[in-house]
Structure 1
Amino acid sequence: MTWLDFFCHPLWVVSTALLAAVVRLQRRPRWDPRTCDVRLTGKTAIVTGANTGIGKFIALDFARRGARVILACRSETRGTAALHEIRAKTGNLDVHLRLVDLSCMDSVREFAGRILKEEKALHILVNNAGVSGLPKEITKDGFEASFATNHLGPFLLTNLLLDLMKSSSPSRIVTVSSVNHKKGEVDFSHFHGENLVYCMDQVYNHTKLHNIICTNELARRIKETGITANSVHPGVVMTEVLRHYPRWIRWSFNIIGFFFFKSPEEGAVSPIYCAVAEELEGVTGKYFHSDCSLVLPAPLARDAALAVKDFEVCERLTSKL
């Protein structure tokens, strides 16, 4: 029997489908956005990376709840397509596209400047955009490209919008991280592309650890302002995040994922929970799992002294630009 014969055998197909069904039942979140009647009428939300995957479904949910939604996207073509789709599906015409390249600090500053000029309030910021598997590349700002896109860009954006969020409080900041942060390490030379191993998702894992560390420190600093800041793992999701990986890896991921991984709509559930659930009012500096449960992140992510240092390093790096 060849491998092809094995994978096409009815017994294998049925067994795999049944196992996948069991896995899906076990990972069902304890919270369902479809049964949550929270309205966001009169609220303004920004979702980065909202043209595809998890980000698009987060934006779609906010639009259905009546929010003014700003899609923060790098591609105008894909962002415009998402804009039209969300408006058509929700009937909410108060959905808008604003372009930003999170890997470029000038672009982040320009985007934030436009938001501060045009928007009177900001109640929800979802830092969702992210990349994985990028080859080694240093941006014009001198940062490693994955670190710029996944961490330093969102870090700068969040800090530039803080005053607007304070004046709009209660407000929520939600940072989409990953359970992979547990495999990450903290080495500040990584920000400039030094001492990194470009193998599979190792660089991505480091950036996701920094996400949680700095979100926790931000939560501590803004505790009395009416803004909450939490990070969340969306689950293992079938998105385009692997588009920079070799074809054979993407093919394997898609085959396995068809049976066992979450759809982008399912992956959006835990970030939406952090952004709108009434029970999280005032909850800050926490990390949530993909089933919407509150869990402890890795020990490094709970190191208060490291958090202060990490935040200060990121402030220095981004303030120079």
Structure 2
Amino acid sequence: MSLWSHIRLVYIWRMLGIIVYEFGTNFFGLRRKVKTDKKLNGQVVVVTGANTGIGKETAYQMTLREAKVYIGCRDVKKGETAVNEIQSMNPKADIKLLKLDLSSLQSVRHFAKELSQLESKVDILINNAGVMACPELQTEDGFEMQFGTNHLGHFLLTLHLVPLLKKSPAARVVTVSACAYKCGQIHLNNINLRNGDYHPLIAYTQSKLANILFSRELANRLRHTQVKTYALGPGVIDTDLKRHVEKVDETKGKGFMERHLMMTPFMGSQTTLYCALDEGLADETGYFYDNCRRIDYMIAEANDYKTAKALWELSEDLVKLEDHLRI
């Protein structure tokens, strides 16, 4: 019997709850917006996957707050288009593109090296990029695509940037997870879901739970520093992320779901901005946020510090983390 058969009932039950909550808050206009008007005055902000969707919106909003923004994108052409569009909306935008393919550990290391040659510190790192529910694929380094991109790529990137983050007087690491983490489990003995255990949604939810456990363990390991960490669920948003879930006919207008049940990228970026900017979170670290508020009641798997530590140690081995970057 496959792994999917074993967990199907629990998965479906939890997913139904997520759908009711997410679509309900969107339909009835219950989504919150960031209230702070905090300016960043040249602070260095790094946003991964910012050529489209909430990543692009987040980068744009950061430029409006006078940050110096770097976006890391796999597709350079799309990244350049995003930079041009942001600069057209905000002519004063200080924004630069660096190539970053999170499914390639070599690319992650190159991005971090390139950034370190350009900047002496990083104030805000936003781990935004991701892939959802794709067919069974492998990264350049042989990992399951969603785990490799959503978790391992950001794990390695963050640890390479920790030295720069420590040079900021008050740095923040914001990792975009998803409420679908509630359906996730960390399969430490088969992290790549091989031997018939792969299912697109099992892989996706595992990677999103991994984002939360990573943020918790990072907070624990950096507890004596000024670097704070936050994980969040942005909500259900009408972006390209769903391209593997449904086929979109671009000749047709947006349907009922896109118009009434999904958020725009602007609304979808609000919790990310909340975690990155809100002054009230300055003394918080390692928590999960949704709809611009901290969520204290979570499934047991998201509070499992033993699994968080085991996942961290496994991730160090998988990416062959350099000794001087171990924390």
Partner of 1:137: 137
Number of equivalenced pairs: 298
Q: Percent of aligned pairs with the same residue?
A: 34
Partner of 1:28: 31
Partner of 2:289: 288
Q: Mapping of 1:88-103 within 5 angstroms?
A: 88-103=88-103
Q: Mapping of 1:189-228 within 5 angstroms?
A: 189-194=189-194, 197-199=197-199, 201-228=201-228
The verdict on how the C-alpha distance between 1:93 and 1:221 changes in structure 2, with shifts beyond 3 A counting, is same
Q: Deviations over 1:267-316 (max 9, x none)?
A: 10001000001111121010001243433332111011111111111111
- SS state at 1:247 partner: coil
The verdict on how the C-alpha distance between 1:195 and 1:169 changes in structure 2, with shifts beyond 3 A counting, is farther
Partner of 1:179: 179
Q: Mapping of 1:1-321 within 5 angstroms?
A: 23-29=26-32, 32-33=33-34, 35-194=35-194, 197-199=197-199, 201-247=201-247, 255-319=256-320
The verdict on how the C-alpha distance between 1:295 and 1:320 changes in structure 2, with shifts beyond 3 A counting, is closer
- SS state at 1:288 partner: strand
CA distance in 2, matches of 1:268, 1:175: 12
Between 1:255-264 and 1:110-119, the stretch displaced more is 255-264
The verdict on how the C-alpha distance between 1:106 and 1:188 changes in structure 2, with shifts beyond 3 A counting, is same
The verdict on how the C-alpha distance between 1:42 and 1:206 changes in structure 2, with shifts beyond 3 A counting, is same
Q: How large is the Cα RMSD of the aligned pairs?
A: 2.3
Amino acid at match of 2:68: R
Deviation at 1:106, TM superposition (A): 0.3
The verdict on how the C-alpha distance between 1:21 and 1:178 changes in structure 2, with shifts beyond 3 A counting, is closer
CA distance in 1, matches of 2:141, 2:200: 25
Q: Deviations over 1:16-51 (max 9, x none)?
A: xxxx8985445221xx33x42200012000000101
Partner of 2:18: none
CA distance in 1, matches of 2:25, 2:229: 33
Between 1:190-199 and 1:116-125, the stretch displaced more is 190-199
Deviation at 1:320, TM superposition (A): 5.8
Q: Unaligned stretches of 5+ in structure 2?
A: 1-22, 323-327
Contact 2:289 2:295 in 1 (8 A): yes
CA distance in 2, matches of 1:230, 1:21: 25
The verdict on how the C-alpha distance between 1:168 and 1:243 changes in structure 2, with shifts beyond 3 A counting, is same
Deviation at 1:240, TM superposition (A): 0.6
CA distance in 1, matches of 2:93, 2:69: 9
Q: Deviations over 1:89-125 (max 9, x none)?
A: 1222420000110000000000011111111110000
Amino acid at match of 2:229: A
Deviation at 1:249, TM superposition (A): 11
Partner of 1:15: none
CA distance in 2, matches of 1:51, 1:85: 10
Partner of 1:17: none
Query: Normalized against structure 2, the TM-score is what?
Result: 0.85
CA distance in 2, matches of 1:293, 1:216: 14
Deviation at 1:195, TM superposition (A): 5.1
Instruction: Choose 1 or 2 for highest CA Rg.
Output: 1
Q: Unaligned stretches of 5+ in structure 1?
A: 1-19
